[in-house]
Amino acid sequence: MSLITSSINLLSNLITHNNNVYKVVINTPNALHSLCTLTSYKLNIHFIQENDQQTLALRRSSIRCLFYIQDCGDASAQTELVNARYARLQVIAISTASGSGEEQNDEIYWGLFRISIFLNQLHKGINSFPPQPLLAHRSDEQIEEEGGNEEIDSQLINKALSDDIKKYANETKGAILNYFIEQGNPRPSWY
């Protein structure tokens, strides 16, 4: 399992250092699907602690690799991520991190961060692609289907979590709602 995790980490590093590598990944049959599958590998199945740590490392590496594809990718990469139900995977990651008494604040923080960035990029566009409102809408639906709105709301009112988590929960909620901002209205802090 550590060999797979190391390989995914290597792939992540290649993507961040060479923006064209993500194209190879999204054009390789089943590569994106495999990364998505690995994000939930042995979720909520506990064996001995060493195995749990290895499976957690594998899931983290897979999610991070998908984020780098999202962050470096063009419109076709975003389309492939939406088709692979990337937003849903992020919701599952934060739901699992906050569930069953095993709160993992880092996982919650980064999951909220990734959802917020993904939706904002789809809504507003970035240098490598224009706004993608249909993809944003499909991602919003994936979040809703997975119970993500409720999970994000619970992070807003959770007293035990850090202010950073609440900040990104608020930003994520704003990205999901995608408030229409008129020129005369002041922009909310999350916009």
pLDDT at 19: 67
User: Is 139 inside any structural domain?
Assistant: yes
Which range, of 31-35, 47-51, 97-101, averages the lowest pLDDT? 97-101
Which residue range(s) make up the domain with 45? 2-177
pLDDT at 135: 94
pLDDT at 181: 44
Tokens representing residue 21 in the block: 């590598």
Q: Say how many domains are in the chain.
A: 1
Residue 102: pLDDT band by 50, 70, 90 thresholds?
very low
**Beta-strand (E) ranges in the chain?**
none
User: Is 18 inside any structural domain?
Assistant: yes
User: How many CB atoms within 10 Å of residue 82?
Assistant: 23
How far is 73 from 128, CA to CA, in rounded Å? 7
User: Is 185 inside any structural domain?
Assistant: no
User: Is 133 inside any structural domain?
Assistant: yes
User: Is 184 inside any structural domain?
Assistant: no
pLDDT in tens, 121-158: 998 899 889 999 899 999 999 999 988 899 888 888 77
User: Is 183 inside any structural domain?
Assistant: no
User: Is 186 inside any structural domain?
Assistant: no
How far is 185 from 17, CA to CA, in rounded Å? 40
Task: State which H helix or E strand residue 30 sits in.
Answer: none
Q: Is the dihedral of CA 5, 36, 68, 93 positive or negative?
A: negative
User: Is 182 inside any structural domain?
Assistant: no
Query: Which CATH number do you get for residue 128?
Result: 1.25.10.10
